[in-house]
Structures are given as structure tokens and as C-alpha cells.
């Protein structure tokens, strides 16, 4: 009770992209900065307007230094379902909270933001004029004012049914913008070293935020590829390292991914990617190594593991092995110790990943990874579990009508003991996800195309 009295109300204006990823991002960041999410705040759904109770403006500012899912935050002075309701709510906002921003020697401006409707200039002026009862003492300045206030009107989510009057109107003092511009400034289109599966900038930052990556952390990506996830983590001040089974990727050799270029250039590698953004000091190293056989010594701890394992669609799921692991009769030279490449079933890969994270994360550290799923067969029970890891969030990104990938975030909640590594084999989750060994086959076999075709003809 005492806590809620100390909370101030803020309005978050969310971006209308990656909707499912927004709540876990904001929750993760708030928990990183000492804010909390109360349960009655969980029903935001698809709306871009979220009211948050946060203990201090500092926490609100820290949140905005990290979020890519939110556009702006405002200190909420009033809210209503009509102009009258908004005005009476503003009249009951404590004067002492307004006064510091309404001084006669200050400058200010009032902006209008509408969602799902465009207002004429005349309509905008009318709304601003209607606020004359507020004791604004300062001078209006459009360029670089000290304080910015905003009227935000919500006309709902349906562009085919725009109401005459807004469903909700908010008025607040602008505090800060989020980090949406990172999506452009870190775009893979302008990145030095890229590959077929380089993760787009927006999702890379979202992953680092779900992973609560912070300054001076050590972040590891066992399927590092071209290092997009390391770039995002380093941007937030973490030291980064990774491994990949592919020698050419780690050493920046082989064929280029860009259309007009045949071979990778001399300095096309992950270190150069970090250098491009002034982040080279955060580069620890990247190694050629097979994630199924981690080569770390015991007692090695990471603050976060953020990764995008292969799904076998644009890159193969392989692991190293020896001739001995090849079924009898198929081996070429039984005595040889030369490593061979064996196929790496998806379920084995994810359970290896969970075991590795359970063993090498610090307590409270997070594992963030993508799980590919075949949507007609997906159930939440399929998501791999581990006795040392608590599931924090599970967000879907659709890839096609029948496939999607889910961003899974887990937190280490228990110290790893040797017996933990086999417990998952007894769980139903393991058996359920084994079905996904066939994800690749289903993707290529045309099952997805056939179902889509059947659905289309049944709708006709
Ligand atoms: C989806 S890509 C990662 C892309 C990366 N996030 C990026 O932005 O470039 C998966 C990577 O896993 C690597 N890989 C496949 N099997 C592996 C294994 N057994 N151990 C380590 N890396 C593996 C592939 O070579 C590929 O680079």
C-alpha cells in the first residue's frame, strides 16, 4: 500500500511493431532499474498507450535509454474518455506537481499526437485553446522549449472504423524518447560484415533487453554467426564473445552475402562490426567451436547467453562427431579420429543449450533464444524446460502461415548440479519437442504449402 502511494503515473507511447515483445521488454527493463510491474498493468494488449506506475522519473529516463519498443514517455497529468473527463482529471492533478514546469520565466510548447486519425490544424488549435484553464505562466517557443506537453488522442486500432471522437485522451509532460533510432543507425543494410541469417537490429536490441544485458556484463552467443547479437549487447556496455562451428564465418572468409560482391573482404569480421559502431573495446573474442561440445573450463560464468541457433532452413544444423558415432556399417574407416560432421537434431540442440546455460550462467542470469515451431502442432508445453531455469517470456514472430519462431527468455534460478542435466529427459516437454526434429522436413516437404492451399480452397 505504502509503495503505491509513492508511485507516479506515466504514459508510455508504444511502437506498433513486434507487439508481443513489448511487455516482456518493458518488464525486463523495469526490473533492471528498480521499478516493478503491478499485475493490473498486464492487460495492454495491442494498444499503443500504456499507463505505468513508476517510483521515480530517473527510472522512467533509464527505461527510455534502453527500450526500442516504446517511442516516448510522459508524466501523466490527466486522462479521460472524453474532453470533459480529461479536463476534470487535469483539474484534480496536484498544483504543486505542475508548478515547477509552468514558471513565468520558462519556455514551453504543447504538441498533439493522435493514433488512427489525422486532425486538421484548426482542430489541433481548438484542443490546445481548451486547456487555457491550466496555469501556464511561461512563454510559448516552438524551437527547443524547456518543457514539452502533449495531448494524446486514441481513436482505437481499427483503421476501417475510425470513431468521430477518441476512445481515450491523455495529457502529460514529455520526459524522454526511447531508442527507436537505433533500428536505423544499426541497420544490417549498412553493416560491414553480414550473412544470410544476420539478425535485424530491432530484434537484436529487443533480445538484449529481454536478457537484461547491462554495463560490464559478459555476454556469450554460442551460435554467433556474424555477431549481430554481440553488437546489440556491446551497445549496452557488455563485453561480448561467441562461438560458431563455421570456420569461414568466424574468420570472415568465403563467399560474400552482398549481391554485388563475390568474396568477403579482408576485414569483414565480427570485430570490424563492433569497430564500425565504436564498440571494439567490448570485443573479447570469437572462436570456432561446436555448441554441442562446449570447450569452456568449469566455473566459467556468463551474465547472459543471447543466441539464435540454426533452424536448418538457411543454414544446416550440424555438429562435430567421430566415426564411432556413425551407426555400424556406415563408417568408412573405423580407426580414424578425424572429426566428421553429423546432423544435430533440433531437440538435442535446444536441450544442450539449456543445459549449457544452466551450468554457465550466473544466478539471475538470462538465456534468450529463438525456438522454431511448426504452428499447427505447437503447444506451450513443447517449450523446453530445465530444473535450473525459469521461463520468463515466450513471444511469437510469424515466419509463414505455418511456421513461426518464438523468442524464449529464461532465468537461472538454481545452482546447477550434475544430476540436473538428465532430469529433462524424464519430462514430457522433451518428448513433445522431439516432434520438432522434423521442423526442417515439414518446412521443405511442402506440407506447409499443401495446408495453406487446402485452407485457401476451403475458404473459397
Ligand atoms: C541463425 S545463425 C546465427 C546468426 C547470427 N545471430 C547473426 O546475426 O549473424 C546460426 C549459426 O549457428 C552456426 N552453427 C550451426 N551449428 C552449430 C554448432 N553445432 N555449433 C556452433 N555453431 C553452429 C551456423 O554456422 C550459423 O552461423
Write out pLDDT tens, residues 55-71: 899 999 999 999 999 99
- C-alpha cell of residue 129: 485553446
C-alpha dihedral sign at 150, 156, 161, 163:
negative
CA 110 vs CA 75, 76, 101, 147, 174: distances in Å: 14, 14, 13, 9, 10
Same domain, 269 and 394: yes
E strands, 178-295, where? 218-221, 239-244, 283-288
| Mutation choice for ligand 1 from 200, 223, 287, 313, CB with most ligand atoms inside 8 A | 223
**DSSP reduced 3-state for 410:** strand
Q: How far apart, in Å, are the Cα atoms of 445 and each of 377, 406, 440, 458? A: 16, 22, 8, 21
Using the 3D structure, point to which of 159, 178, 197 is the last residue of a domain.
Answer: 178
Per-residue confidence (pLDDT) for residue 429, from 0 to 100: 64
Strands 340-343 and 403-412: unpaired
pLDDT tens, 151-197?
999 999 999 999 999 999 999 999 999 999 999 999 999 998 898 89
Counting ligand 1 atoms within 8 A of each CB, the residue from 189, 228, 244 with the most, and so the one to mutate, is 244
Q: Are 187 and 147 in contact (CB under 8 A)?
A: no
The answer to whether residue 328 sits within a structural domain is no
The reply to whether 171 and 71 lie within a common domain is yes
Which residues constitute the domain of residue 435?
Answer: 182-316+340-441
Report the alpha-carbon distance of residue 425 to residue 407 in Å, rounded.
22
> Residues 437-444: what's their mean pLDDT?
62
* Phi, psi (deg, nearest 5) at residue 63: -55, -45
Residue 291 Cα: closest atom of ligand 1:
20
Q: What length is written for the chain?
A: 460
Domain assignment of residue 323, yes or no: no
Same domain, 272 and 421: yes
Say what the pLDDT of residue 331 is: 42
Q: Is residue 452 part of a domain?
A: no
Domain count of the fold of the chain: 2
- At residue 7, the 3 state secondary structure works out as coil
CA distance 100 to 350: 54
Question: Same domain, yes or no, for 158 and 239?
Answer: no
CA–centroid distance, residue 144 to ligand 1 (Å): 46
Mean pLDDT of the chain: 87
211 and 346 share a domain?
yes
Beta bridge partners, 49, equal 13
> End-to-end distance of the chain based on CA atoms, in angstroms?
57
Same domain as 194, residue 165: no
In 8-74, which ranges are continuous DSSP H helix?
19-33, 57-64
Amino acid at each position: 500500500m505504502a509503495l503505491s502511494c509513492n508511485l507516479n503515473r506515466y504514459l508510455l507511447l508504444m511502437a506498433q511493431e513486434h507487439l508481443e515483445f513489448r511487455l516482456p521488454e518493458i518488464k525486463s527493463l523495469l526490473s533492471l532499474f528498480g521499478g516493478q510491474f503491478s499485475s493490473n498493468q498486464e492487460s495492454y494488449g495491442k494498444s499503443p498507450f500504456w499507463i505505468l506506475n513508476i517510483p521515480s522519473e530517473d527510472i522512467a529516463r533509464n527505461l527510455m535509454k534502453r527500450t526500442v519498443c516504446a517511442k516516448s514517455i510522459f508524466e501523466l497529468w490527466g486522462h479521460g474518455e472524453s474532453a470533459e473527463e480529461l479536463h476534470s482529471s487535469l483539474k484534480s492533478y496536484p498544483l504543486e506537481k505542475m508548478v515547477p514546469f509552468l514558471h513565468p520565466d520558462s519556455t514551453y510548447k504543447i504538441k498533439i499526437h493522435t493514433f488512427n486519425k489525422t486532425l486538421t490544424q484548426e482542430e489541433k488549435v481548438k484542443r490546445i485553446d481548451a486547456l487555457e484553464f491550466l496555469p501556464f505562466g511561461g512563454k510559448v517557443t516552438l524551437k527547443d522549449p524547456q518543457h514539452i506537453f502533449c495531448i494524446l488522442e486514441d481513436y482505437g486500432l481499427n483503421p476501417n472504423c475510425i470513431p468521430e471522437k477518441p476512445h481515450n485522451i491523455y495529457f502529460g509532460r514529455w520526459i524522454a524518447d526511447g531508442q527507436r533510432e537505433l533500428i536505423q543507425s544499426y541497420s544490417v543494410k549498412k553493416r560491414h560484415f553480414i550473412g544470410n541469417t544476420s539478425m535485424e537490429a530491432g530484434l537484436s536490441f529487443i533480445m538484449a533487453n529481454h536478457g537484461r544485458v547491462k554495463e560490464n556484463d559478459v555476454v556469450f552467443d554460442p551460435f554467433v554467426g556474424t555477431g549481430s547479437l554481440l553488437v546489440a549487447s556491446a551497445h549496452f556496455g557488455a563485453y561480448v564473445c561467441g562461438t560458431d562451428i563455421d570456420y569461414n564465418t568466424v574468420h570472415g572468409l568465403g563467399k560474400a552475402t552482398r549481391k554485388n560482391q563475390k568474396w568477403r573482404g579482408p576485414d569483414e569480421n565480427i570485430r570490424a562490426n563492433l569497430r564500425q559502431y565504436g564498440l571494439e573495446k567490448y570485443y573479447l573474442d570469437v572462436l570456432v567451436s561446436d555448441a554441442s561440445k562446449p570447450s569452456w573450463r568449469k566455473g566459467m560464468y556468463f551474465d547472459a547467453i543471447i543466441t539464435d541457433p540454426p533452424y536448418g532452413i538457411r543454414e544446416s544444423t550440424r555438429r562435430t562427431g567421430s566415426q564411432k558415432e556413425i551407426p555400424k556399417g556406415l563408417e568408412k574407416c573405423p580407426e580414424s579420429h578425424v572429426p566428421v560432421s553429423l546432423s544435430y537434431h533440433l531437440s538435442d540442440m535446444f536441450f544442450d543449450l539449456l543445459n549449457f546455460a544452466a551450468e554457465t550462467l550466473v544466478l539471475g542470469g538470462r538465456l534468450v533464444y529463438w525456438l522454431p515451431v511448426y504452428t499447427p502442432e505447437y503447444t506451450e508445453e513443447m517449450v523446453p524446460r530445465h530444473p535450473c531455469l525459469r521461463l520468463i517470456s515466450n513471444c511469437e514472430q510469424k515466419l509463414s502461415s505455418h511456421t513461426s519462431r518464438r523468442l524464449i527468455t529464461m532465468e537461472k534460478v538454481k545452482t546447477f548440479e550434475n544430476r540436473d542435466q538428465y532430469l529433462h529427459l524424464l519430462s514430457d516437454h522433451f518428448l513433445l519437442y522431439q516432434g520438432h526434429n522434423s521442423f526442417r522436413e515439414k518446412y521443405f516437404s511442402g506440407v506447409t504449402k499443401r495446408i495453406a492451399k487446402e485452407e485457401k480452397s476451403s475458404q473459397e
